Structure formats: C-alpha cells, structure tokens
C-alpha cells in the first residue's frame, strides 16, 4: 500500500466484506489519532505532545516522584482542552456500531479524554486511566479517585494524607491498571475481529494487542492517517485516512 489515502470505494468494499460475516467477539483499540478532530493533540504524530522541541523529558514515574507539580504543568492545560472537547464522528460511529453488534464488544482505549464514554460507548476499558479524575500519589492512601476537571498547574495536596495529588492516568514506566489489563487480555483471547484506530503502534503493551488478536485467529484492521513503518505483519488490512471520515463509512453509516 502506498502512503496515499484509501479511497471511499475501497472503504465501502471493506464494509461489505465485514458485514458479510457474523462477528462474535469484537475488540477495538483506539489511540490519540481518533480525537484529533475533537481538537486534541496526538502524542507522537506531527506536532504531538511528546515531540515538542521544548520538552526535555516525558512525564514518567520518575518525574512524578521528583516533582508532582511538573507533571501537572504538562497535563493541566491538556485537562482544560479535554473539558471543552466534544466527541467527533469517529467516536459516535463506534458507539452506534457497539449498539448494533450482535456479539460481545470491547473498546480498549489508550486515550485519557473520556470521549468514548461521552459518545455513548458502554464497554470502554481505559488502559491509561482518565485525565478527568484525580487520585493520591500515596499507594496506601484511602482517598478514592474522584472526578476533577480543574486545570491544576501545581500539585494539590491530598485532604486525607497530605501527600501530593496526581492525575489518574498511567505515566511512562508505570504499569497499566490491573483491572484494565485483565479485561484487555480476556477480550483478546476471544477476539475474532480486531480494529485499531489512530494509534502509533509503538507504546507497549497496547502495541502487542494485534499480535494477541492474530494468535486468537482474528481478522485485523488498522485505520490510521499514516502507514506504520515498517508495516506490521499482523494487520491484514491498513486503511489510511481521517478516522472521523473512514469510520462512518466502514461501519455502515456512510
């Protein structure tokens, strides 16, 4: 496949092939690319958050331990963007597809913006948590994660134990939430259709999900604006274009 965008005719032809089968266990994986049309930036794409020349280090577990306010200085402004963003046509197409799906449907997302749930998707597994929540940095603190839309630029103090609070998201060098990882592994074991959308395919463990789906015998598709380099051998089909344009066509709404 070349780097040119996939034509509408090709997408509709793929839709016809998908509709000809009865899928029992659908798994969808989404990355930051699906939320670009909602006004949110990607992480590693052109102009992505972690590719800015002024960013000396990415937000990881070490940064949190050294200076929780530094983490907030990066995610506070993004939280304001998330608060005002609205689901786009890609989010809505997935939510409607879930409603029509005759079998099980699991949506695994690397995104922390909450837009899938706001679009109406029900079976959403937030692999990297949610920027719309805050929790304590102290592992043994009894404070439960809570809804919080404030765009903090300095770490607030936990009202329970006095330690710094943090966004309820997974930073680099941190493991996935245990329940999210379990749900992902369980869904992939049963998967017969796997659709990845707007993801760079470089962040582990989500980058390995297609391999797990393929091992289970699933049909695998990638929808992305740019092709993977090198091409991932476990994707059967690669559809290039804007998710908000391709998904309504692919999922039977165009």
Measured CA to CA, the distance from residue 35 to residue 32 in angstroms comes to 6
Of 204, 236, 209, 212, the closest CA to residue 222 belongs to 236
Q: Tell me which of 128, 152, 242, 245 is the catalytic residue.
A: 128
Nearest to 129 by CA among 155, 110, 142: 110
Q: Give dist(CA 238, CA 225) in Å, integer.
A: 10
Count the alpha carbons within 13 Å of 101 in the hemisphere toward its beta carbon: 25
Rg, C-alpha atoms of the chain: 19
Alpha helix ranges (H) inside the chain: 8-19, 61-66, 68-84, 89-100, 115-119, 178-190, 209-215, 243-250
Query: Please, which residues have CB within 8 angstroms of residue 44's CB and are 6 or more apart in sequence?
Result: 50, 51, 200, 202
Q: Give Cβ neighbours of residue 138 (< 8 Å, ≥ 6 apart).
A: 158, 161, 163
Letter string b/e over residues 6-45, b meaning 16 or more CB atoms within 10 A of that residue's CB: beeebbeebbeebeeeebebbbbbbbbbbbbbbebbbbbb
Q: Is 128 a catalytic residue?
A: yes
Which residues are catalytic, by number?
A: 128
């Amino acid at each position: 496949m070349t780097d040119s965008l996939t034509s509408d005719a090709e997408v509709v032809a793929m839709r016809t092939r998908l509709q000809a089968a009865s899928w029992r266990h659908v798994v969808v994986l989404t990355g930051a690319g699906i939320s670009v049309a909602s006004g949110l930036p990607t992480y590693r794409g052109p102009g992505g958050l972690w590719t800015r020349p002024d960013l000396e280090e990415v937000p990881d577990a070490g940064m949190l331990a050294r200076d929780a306010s530094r983490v907030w200085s990066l995610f506070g402004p993004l939280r304001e963007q998330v608060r005002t963003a609205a689901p786009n046509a890609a989010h809505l197409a997935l939510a409607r597809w879930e409603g029509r799906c005759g079998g099980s449907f699991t949506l695994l997302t690397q995104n922390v913006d909450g837009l899938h749930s706001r679009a109406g998707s029900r079976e959403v597994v937030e692999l990297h948590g949610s920027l719309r929540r805050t929790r304590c940095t102290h592992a043994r603190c009894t404070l439960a994660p809570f809804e919080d839309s404030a765009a903090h630029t300095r770490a607030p103090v936990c009202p329970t134990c006095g330690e710094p609070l943090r966004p309820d998201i997974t930073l680099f060098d941190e493991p996935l939430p245990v329940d999210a990882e379990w749900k992902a592994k369980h869904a992939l074991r049963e998967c017969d259709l796997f659709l990845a959308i707007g993801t760079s395919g470089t962040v582990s463990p989500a980058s390995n999900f297609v391999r797990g789906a393929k091992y289970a015998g699933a049909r695998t598709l990638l929808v992305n604006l740019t092709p993977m380099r090198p091409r991932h051998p476990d994707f059967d089909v690669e559809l290039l274009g804007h998710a908000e344009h391709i998904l309504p066509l692919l999922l039977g709404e165009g």
